[in-house]
Amino acid sequence: MKIKTPKTDSTLKIYLEEKRTLVEKNLLRLLGPSGEYPLTLYQSMHYSLFAGGKRIRPILAIAASEAVGGMTEAVIPVAIAVEMIHTYSLIHDDLPAMDNDDIRRGKPANHRAFGEATAILAGDALLTTAFTLLADQSLWDNIPSDRVLQIIHEVGLGAGPCGMVGGQQLDLESEGKRISINAIEQMHIKKTGALIRASIRSGGIAGGATETQLLALTDYSERIGLAFQIADDILDVEGSVEETGKSTGKDVSQNKNTYPALIGLGESKLLEKRLVNEAIEAIEEFDEKADSLRRIAEYVVERTR
Ligand code: GRG
């Protein structure tokens, strides 16, 4: 079947910019100023949180909520929480004990700017703050508490040992070995896909999705999560430090298990396009309120950073 997607780049650009501003305004409001006590800890949290990320997970949560008719404001706690969790994972991923990276979001990695111990604590603090905010009843606008509880559970699953943290462990264990394409897929479904899935599902739940809508959003999220990771692997080969804001070429030099390494660049590009089409197909029953989700699906593989 031929899938129709709205092709207006400028519409997406405006949408992403508008939502990014909304997310950043609320991150600042809910985290508080960087001058809080203990000063260095808050400065370190602020440093990474406001270093210029794309905010794709919170934007996906907002777009999922809008797709099912939810109010944008109602999903703010989810948006803020998933961005804090994502930022914590980047801080920890860059540590010498993990990926040992010096550049993140175009700036020295947190541990390079604040030292290893503070970087660990800033990550811990962002993770715990995310759940503190999710569990803060006063932030939820007319959302029943059973739905809030379901969201907290969803985000915990996506971030924890059966999601992102588990995927990171599989990644560590696969270092220096050639693993199968199935094993790579499993690793990425957890490491990158699980938090993206949780962002989209939680956005849908906050927006009041029906069971059928939630299943469709889940299908969409799983394809987008994998496509996002393949795009990331391709950017490591084809992108530049200036464009991506992080070290590139590391996967190849470190002989990492990536899609381009296992199936080649051409096949990787075909696979990411197929996943995007399948994602758009998964939400074909949704009306025009899901157009942002459709546009974001294409952006995920067309982005240059
Ligand atoms: C340390 C628990 C723990 C987990 C780390 C997310 C992660 C798991 C590691 C990051 C390594 C990596 C390059 C993963 C590939 C996909 C990915 C998550 C890229 C970075 O996310 P973007 O592109 O970054 O959304 P910005 O900076 O735009 O937010």
C-alpha Rg value of the chain to the nearest Å: 18
Tell me: pLDDT of 2 over 50: no
pLDDT at 6: 55
CA of 202 from ligand 1 middle (Å) equals 19
CA of 192 from ligand 1 middle (Å) equals 7
| Single pTM value for the model | 0.94
CA of 229 from ligand 1 middle (Å) equals 9
Ligand 1 binding pocket includes 244 (Cβ within 6 Å): no
Section 186-195 average pLDDT: 97
CA of 29 from ligand 1 middle (Å) equals 24
| DSSP secondary structure letters along the chain | -PPP----HHHHHHHHHHHHHHHHHHHHHHH--TTPSSHHHHHHHHHHHTS----HHHHHHHHHHHHTT--TGGGHHHHHHHHHHHHHHHHHHTSTTTT--SEETTEE-HHHHH-HHHHHHHHHHHHHHHHHHHT-GGGSSS--HHHHHHHHHHHHHHHSTTTHHHHHHHHHHHTTS---HHHHHHHHIIIIIHHHHHHHHHHHHHTT--HHHHHHHHHHHHHHHHHHHHHHHHHHHH--HHHHSS--SHHHHTT---HHHHH-HHHHHHHHHHHHHHHHHHTTTS-GGGHHHHHHHHHHHH---
Residues of the chain above pLDDT 90, percent: 82
Q: How far apart are CA 30 and CA 89, in angstroms?
A: 19
pLDDT band per the 50, 70, 90 thresholds, residue 43: very high
- Contacts of residue 152, defined as CB under 8 A and 6 or more positions apart, other chains included, come to 131, 134, 135
Q: Given CATH 2.60.120.560, say whether it is the number of domain 9-300.
A: no
Q: Is 66 exposed, middle or buried (0-12, 13-18, 19+ CB in 10 A)?
A: buried
| DSSP secondary structure letters along 181-241 | HHHHHHHHIIIIIHHHHHHHHHHHHHTT--HHHHHHHHHHHHHHHHHHHHHHHHHHHH--H
CA atoms within 13 A of residue 294's CA, in its CB half-sphere: 21
In the chain, what are the domain boundaries? 9-300
- Name the residue at shortest CA distance from atom 13 of ligand 1: 232
Tell me: pLDDT of 12 over 60: yes
- Name the residue at shortest CA distance from atom 3 of ligand 1: 89
- Name the residue at shortest CA distance from atom 29 of ligand 1: 53
Tell me: pLDDT of 189 over 90: yes
Q: Tell me the per-residue pLDDT of 258-289, one tens digit each, with 9 for 90 and over.
A: 999 899 999 999 999 999 999 999 999 999 99
Ligand 1 binding pocket includes 164 (Cβ within 6 Å): yes
Q: Which residue has the tokens 């860059």?
A: 94
Q: Which residue has the tokens 């944008």?
A: 72
Q: Which atom of ligand 1 is nearest to the CA of 165?
A: 2
Q: Tell me the per-residue pLDDT of 76-111, one tens digit each, with 9 for 90 and over.
A: 999 999 999 999 999 999 999 999 999 999 999 999
CB of 96 closer than 8 Å to CB of 116: yes
Section 44-69 average pLDDT: 97
**13 vs 9, higher pLDDT:** 13
CA of 142 from ligand 1 middle (Å) equals 32
pLDDT band per the 50, 70, 90 thresholds, residue 8: low
102, 105, 232, best to mutate for ligand 1 pocket (most atoms within 8 Å of CB): 232
Q: Tell me the per-residue pLDDT of 127-169, one tens digit each, with 9 for 90 and over.
A: 999 999 999 999 998 899 999 999 999 999 999 999 999 999 9
pLDDT at 1: 46
Q: How far apart are CA 189 and CA 212, in angstroms?
A: 22
CA of 286 from ligand 1 middle (Å) equals 29
Section 2-6 average pLDDT: 52
Peptide bond into 6 cis (omega under 30): no
Tell me: pLDDT of 172 over 90: yes
Tell me: pLDDT of 120 over 80: yes
Q: Which atom of ligand 1 is nearest to the CA of 171?
A: 8
Tokens of 263: 């199936």
Q: Tell me the per-residue pLDDT of 221-262, one tens digit each, with 9 for 90 and over.
A: 999 999 999 999 999 998 877 776 676 667 776 778 899 989
